[in-house]
């Protein structure tokens, strides 16, 4: 009977990626749990396979073979204590930085602790036998496949990363007896590029530089990014935490968040990803992504990562500036104008919106003093303010690292301590403020603080028209949105607290009151006291404001798509997707 590759999809992907990365040397030990892998490998003439009954000996054989050949060597063993016998050899490999890929086949890990034969716990390992250990479960959907590809790429790349060393893959099997797959799947290879590597060629077309949360930019980096954009028809996608202040900045949130319209400029041929976690949730579509970060980590945020450039951002852009001067195929710079026109078209058509966080942002952001610093609370506040551009001299931050509400005001206060001659503005929701309100009592707080509290009496995020929580209507308030805590929008609770701590307190409950207090809040001078500005809004108005802003521009295709989604509902969409796959 002819046998080919196993029908276990994750094993097929592992084999395909081993081939794509040029790994062919394998030392296999006998067993049942690793049959699907070994049987598939031995029927592929690409691989050079050796047998070793003793796993301890196999690991040391791999050390010798790797050291002599300079190539990675794969180990494969069954379950039970077989993997334990790799430890001495892998310890040797760890300290000699030898590229050994130990693939230990295993049953499902949820069987651990249930007296299932040959199932042992590999979740805790000595520190000096692997540089990296990844777990590869079976594949049941697209998300599983994506995770499988990324983790295996990451494991293989780690074999030679920072000098190299052993890596562990814990590979689940369901002992499939079917070996009828003649062709391995097409897999996405991720590669790591170093400073001295040959730089891959940039594709023709539109290029976007997506900047997550980023520290203050140096003039050198800004100049190089501007030069790169001018040469390659590129733009820089930003939110208020990106802090890029160059000539090619675009704020995509307003354009990219339209419910029934997808602008052509939201699609790029290549996305260059720099910075850290972004809280913008921007729908930018790219054919492929290159990540540039000195950490060299495989962060596949957009699920189409092709290269990771382990180098400084300045070095990356400098190299491609040099390559552009060598090349004669330069791009005409039109992409920035396309984005600017889209933004203006939508911005200029924003109708009157209810008194809300988005309205406050629209009517405040252009009045922020030059050279001030803006700290934004997560989710609803960050989203609301990201719709609108800010002065090039204003830097922005948000706690998008851990993405919690628990320290927004404290972070603002900490930043304000650094420079008493600079104004620091903070915009937070009521739950975030009360969670962290004790920070206002810190006796180090100075008079350069301007804190705005958007008080809608709940976590308004969970009542937004397009949020998962909104489907429960009024019941959302009970536990999901945590309504009616902290004085139920008391008009005096925060007032007394702020004033007793030495702050000046102002408030507003409608547009007229807000505008009458705005001049004081954004006064560019350091005043005698720091200011707490409490603004009372309604969560229904908050939701309606976002709905209006996100439905300014529509296309026929977008309207039909939205109608289909609304008609079919969540279950219908899922059924349709599954039907299409079949």
How large is the C-alpha radius of gyration of the chain?
A: 28
Asked if residues 96 and 69 have their Cβ atoms less than 8 Å apart, the reply is: no
CATH code at position 92: 3.40.50.970
Query: Rounded distance, CA 527 to CA 507, Å?
Result: 18
- SS3 state of residue 517: helix
Show which of 329, 347, 365 is a domain's final residue: 347
Q: Is residue 352 included in any domain, yes or no?
A: no
Does 573 have pLDDT greater than 60?
Answer: no
Query: Rounded distance, CA 375 to CA 408, Å?
Result: 8
Which among 549, 467, 543 has a CA at the least distance from the CA of 255? 549
327-347 average pLDDT score: 84
Query: Rounded distance, CA 377 to CA 383, Å?
Result: 9
Q: Is residue 193 included in any domain, yes or no?
A: no
Residues whose CB is less than 8 angstroms from the CB of residue 121 and which lie 6 or more positions away in sequence, other chains included: 112, 113
514 and 372 assigned to the same domain? yes
DSSP-derived secondary structure for 318-356: HHHHHHHHH-S-PPP--HHHHHHHHHHHHHTT-----SS
Does 569 have pLDDT greater than 80?
Answer: no
Query: Rounded distance, CA 237 to CA 343, Å?
Result: 12
In this prediction, residue 582 carries a pLDDT of: 52
Asked if residues 7 and 180 have their Cβ atoms less than 8 Å apart, the reply is: yes
Beta strand 249-250 with 234-237: parallel, antiparallel or unpaired? Answer: parallel
306 and 365 assigned to the same domain? no
SS3 for 61-115 is HHHHHHHHHCCCEEEEECCHHHHHHHHHHHHHHHHHCCCEEEEEEECCHHHCCCC
532 and 567 assigned to the same domain? no
379 and 503 assigned to the same domain? yes
Q: Quick one: DSSP state of residue 5?
A: B
Residue-wise pLDDT for 420-449, tens only, equals: 999 999 999 999 999 999 999 999 999 999
27-34 average pLDDT score: 96
**CA-CA distances (angstroms) from residue 342 to 306, 348, 547, 560?**
29, 10, 19, 21
Does 576 have pLDDT greater than 80?
Answer: no
Where residue 114 falls among pLDDT bands split at 50, 70, 90?
A: confident
CATH code at position 257: 3.40.50.1220
Q: Is residue 195 included in any domain, yes or no?
A: no
Where residue 72 falls among pLDDT bands split at 50, 70, 90?
A: very high
- pTM recorded for the entire structure: 0.91
Tell me the average pLDDT of the chain: 93
Q: What are phi and psi of 403, to 5 degrees?
A: 55, 50
Q: Is residue 202 included in any domain, yes or no?
A: no
Residue-wise pLDDT for 220-243, tens only, equals: 999 999 999 999 999 999 999 999
134 and 21 assigned to the same domain? yes
Does 565 have pLDDT greater than 90?
Answer: no
In this prediction, residue 579 carries a pLDDT of: 53
Residue range of the domain that includes 317: 207-347
In this prediction, residue 120 carries a pLDDT of: 81
Q: What are phi and psi of 19, to 5 degrees?
A: -70, -40
Angle at 349 between CA 345 and CA 350, to 5 degrees: 125
Q: Is residue 101 included in any domain, yes or no?
A: yes
Does 355 have pLDDT greater than 90?
Answer: yes
Asked if residues 213 and 397 have their Cβ atoms less than 8 Å apart, the reply is: yes
Does 558 have pLDDT greater than 90?
Answer: no
Which among 426, 405, 404, 406 has a CA at the least distance from the CA of 415? 426
Query: Rounded distance, CA 340 to CA 345, Å?
Result: 9
534-552 average pLDDT score: 96
160 and 295 assigned to the same domain? no
**CA-CA distances (angstroms) from residue 229 to 206, 246, 254, 274, 317?**
10, 10, 22, 14, 10
């Amino acid at each position: 009977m002819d046998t080919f590759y196993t029908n276990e999809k994750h094993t097929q992907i592992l084999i395909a990626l081993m081939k794509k990365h040029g790994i062919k040397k394998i030392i296999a030990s006998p067993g049942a749990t690793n049959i699907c892998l070994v049987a598939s490998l031995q029927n592929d003439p690409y691989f050079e396979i050796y047998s070793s009954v003793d796993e301890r000996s196999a690991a040391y054989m791999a050390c010798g073979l790797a050291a002599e050949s300079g190539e990675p060597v794969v180990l494969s063993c069954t379950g039970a204590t077989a993997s334990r016998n790799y430890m001495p050899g892998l310890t040797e490999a760890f300290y000699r930085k030898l590229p050994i890929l130990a693939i230990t086949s295993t049953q499902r890990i949820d069987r651990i602790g249930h007296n299932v034969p040959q199932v042992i716990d590999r979740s805790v390992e000595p520190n000096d036998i692997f540089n990296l250990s990844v777990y590869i479960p079976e594949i049941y959907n697209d998300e599983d496949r994506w995770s499988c590809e990324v983790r295996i790429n990451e494991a293989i790349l780690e074999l030679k990363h920072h000098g190299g060393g052993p890596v562990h893959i814990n590979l689940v099997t369901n002992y499939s007896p079917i070996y009828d797959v003649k062709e391995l799947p097409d897999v996405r290879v991720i590669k790591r590029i170093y400073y001295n590597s040959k730089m891959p060629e940039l594709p023709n077309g539109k290029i976007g530089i997506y900047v997550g949360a980023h520290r203050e930019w140096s003039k050198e980096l800004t100049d190089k990014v501007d030069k790169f954009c001018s040469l390659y028809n590129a733009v820089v996608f930003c939110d208020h935490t990106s802090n890029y202040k160059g000539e090619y900045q675009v704020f995509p949130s307003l354009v990219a968040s339209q419910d029934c319209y997808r602008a052509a400029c939201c699609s790029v041929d290549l996305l260059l990803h720099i910075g850290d976690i972004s809280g913008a949730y921007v729908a930018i579509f790219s054919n492929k992504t290159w990540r540039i970060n000195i950490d060299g980590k495989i962060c596949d945020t957009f699920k189409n990562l092709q290269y990771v450039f382990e180098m400084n951002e300045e070095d990356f852009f400098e190299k491609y500036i040099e390559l552009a001067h060598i090349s004669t195929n330069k791009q005409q710079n039109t992409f920035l104008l396309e984005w600017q026109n889209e933004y203006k078209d939508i911005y200029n058509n924003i109708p009157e919106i209810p008194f809300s966080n988005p309205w406050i942002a629209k009517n405040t952001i252009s009045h922020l003093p030059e050279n001030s610093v803006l700290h934004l609370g997560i989710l609803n506040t960050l989203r609301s303010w990201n719709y609108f551009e800010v002065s090039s001299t204003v830097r922005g931050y948000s706690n998008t690292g851990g993405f919690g509400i628990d320290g927004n005001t404290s972070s603002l206060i900490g930043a304000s301590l650094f420079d008493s001659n600079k104004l620091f503005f903070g915009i937070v929701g009521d739950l975030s403020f009360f969670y962290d309100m004790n920070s206002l009592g810190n006796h180090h707080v100075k008079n350069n603080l301007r804190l705005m509290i958007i008080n809608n009496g709940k976590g308004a995020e969970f009542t937004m028209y397009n949020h998962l929580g909104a489907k429960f209507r009024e019941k959302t308030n009970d536990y999901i949105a945590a309504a009616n805590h902290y004085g139920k929008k008391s008009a005096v609770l925060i007032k007394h607290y702020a004033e007793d701590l030495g702050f000046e307190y102002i408030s507003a409950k409608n547009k007229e009151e807000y505008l009458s207090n705005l001049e004081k809040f954004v006064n560019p001078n350091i005043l005698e006291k720091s200011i707490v500005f409490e603004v009372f809004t309604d969560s229904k108005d908050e939701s309606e404001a976002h709905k209006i802003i996100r439905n300014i521009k529509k296309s026929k295709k977008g309207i039909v798509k939205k109608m289909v989604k609304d008609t079919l509902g969540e279950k219908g969409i899922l059924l349709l997707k599954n039907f299409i796959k079949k």
